[in-house]
Amino acid sequence: MNNAKYIIEKELFDRDNLIYLLSVEGDERQYIYQKADEIKQKYVGNKVYFRGLIEFSNICAKNCYYCGIRRGNGEVQRYYLNEEEVLQAAEFAWKEGYGSLVIQSGERKDKWFVNQITNLLEKISDRTGEELGITLSMGEQTEETFLRWKKAGAERYLIRVEAFNPELYHKIHPNDAIHSYQQRLETLKLLQKTGYQTGTGVMIGLPFQTKSHLADDLLFFKDFDIDMVGMGPYIEHEQTPLYQYKDQLLPKKERLELSIRMVALLRIIMKDVNIAATTAMQTLDPLGREKALKAGANVMMPNITPVRYREGYLLYENKPCLDEEAEDCKSCLEARIHLAGGEIAWYKKGNPKHFHKRQQANNN
């Protein structure tokens, strides 16, 4: 028996073994992918859940060193969608059977913003008969805001910690009060406490990042008992401070491969969580997301932001689907998923099985 097989069968998922699994090649690597697919079929099935992604606004109070829409980037034309644009996109997702929505935005906490999101949630729930599962992804907020948004119709929240190792976290964020590592973790806990299906994630292939950091990230997902994960390769953006380290990065092919291996290992260690095949994977390889689906991912997020705003939401370079209308992405994804041997779960919210289990455990 090879080592990877031994570790996986005996479930010996400590940090050193995870580092080992992140480093293997050849047959052992293939074994990991095959095992991840088997576990996916067994625990969550072959279905791919769609979440229509609305990029609500690129106005952001933060200045993360990696991100193209950071506050300090004066080249970006800032926007937010008006109410009608959001409602139309939500209706599109609903009518087309996507089952759920993700509304994503730069981070801000001002009153107007919090009220506007509340208002949009209420209107979306009205227009779609509460049939859509709604996820928010708009950074750190107060407990009061989380409760308000939940009451207005949000069920899920995504907040990537980006890097669970505090030193690495500080290397990729400014060292000030609004970029606090502790605050980020507290927010994640607050989401669980307020009853959200809770998602997080990291970037893979960051400058200064080691396999040991990535192994710790996997262990954090498990210790936090996270319900959903979105992770993808870090991709450099010229108008950001981290760009100066571009020559130290893993080659793109390896960065993608490492990202897919993280997906596979997460599926193996957590079994019933929802894992996204992310857009950043497609940026590095046209078939990147399909590869992730074959290695354990079960969620895709077709972009349904009106096309004229997409140039404004360039988190990283070469982001795909800049000119494709929602309908085009829909048919493109259908074809791709069928090619990858998956089936789309139309009209299903696709709540993470892990969340139900976590709730049952809490109620007992």
Amino acid identity for residue 187 in this structure: T
CB neighbours of residue 241 within 10 Å: 15
Alpha-carbon distance of 330 to 71, in angstroms, equals 32
Is 292 one of the binding residues for ligand FES (CB under 6 A)? no
In the numeric block, which tokens belong to residue 179?
A: 């970029």
Taking the least distance from each CB to ligand 5AD, the nearer of 81 and 203 is: 203
* Inter-residue contact 317 to 69 (CB < 8 Å): no
Is 216 one of the binding residues for ligand 5AD (CB under 6 A)? no
Alpha-carbon distance of 316 to 170, in angstroms, equals 20
* Inter-residue contact 349 to 52 (CB < 8 Å): no
| Residue 329 binds which entry of ligand SF4, ligand FES, ligand 5AD, none, CB below 5-8 Å type-dependent | ligand FES
According to CB under 6 A, which one of 16, 38, 167, 328 is a site residue for ligand FES? 328
* Inter-residue contact 152 to 121 (CB < 8 Å): yes
Taking the least distance from each CB to ligand SF4, the nearer of 174 and 306 is: 174
| Residue 332 binds which entry of ligand 5AD, ligand SF4, ligand FES, none, CB below 5-8 Å type-dependent | ligand FES
CA distances from 193 to 17, 147, 198, 350 (A): 32, 10, 10, 21
Is 280 one of the binding residues for ligand SF4 (CB under 6 A)? no
Q: Applying CB under 6 A, which part among 38-46, 230-238, 305-313, 330-338 lies near ligand 5AD? A: 230-238
Alpha-carbon distance of 269 to 187, in angstroms, equals 24
Q: Applying CB under 6 A, which part among 41-49, 62-70, 274-282, 317-325 lies near ligand SF4? A: 62-70
Is 315 one of the binding residues for ligand 5AD (CB under 6 A)? yes
- Judged by phi (left if over 0) then psi (alpha if -120 to 50, else beta), residue 324 lies in beta
Is 332 one of the binding residues for ligand FES (CB under 6 A)? yes
| Residue 213 C-beta: closest distance to ligand FES, Å | 30
Alpha-carbon distance of 117 to 148, in angstroms, equals 10
| Residue 62 binds which entry of ligand SF4, ligand 5AD, ligand FES, none, CB below 5-8 Å type-dependent | ligand SF4
Alpha-carbon distance of 45 to 48, in angstroms, equals 9
Closest CA to 291 of 329, 248, 256: 256
Q: Applying CB under 6 A, which part among 44-52, 65-73, 90-98, 260-268 lies near ligand SF4? A: 65-73
| Residue 81 binds which entry of ligand 5AD, ligand SF4, ligand FES, none, CB below 5-8 Å type-dependent | none
In the numeric block, which tokens belong to residue 253?
A: 């092919």
Instruction: Name the site residues for ligand SF4 (rule: CB under 6 A).
Output: 60, 62, 64, 67, 69-70, 106-107, 139
Instruction: Name the site residues for ligand FES (rule: CB under 6 A).
Output: 302, 321, 324, 328-329, 332-333
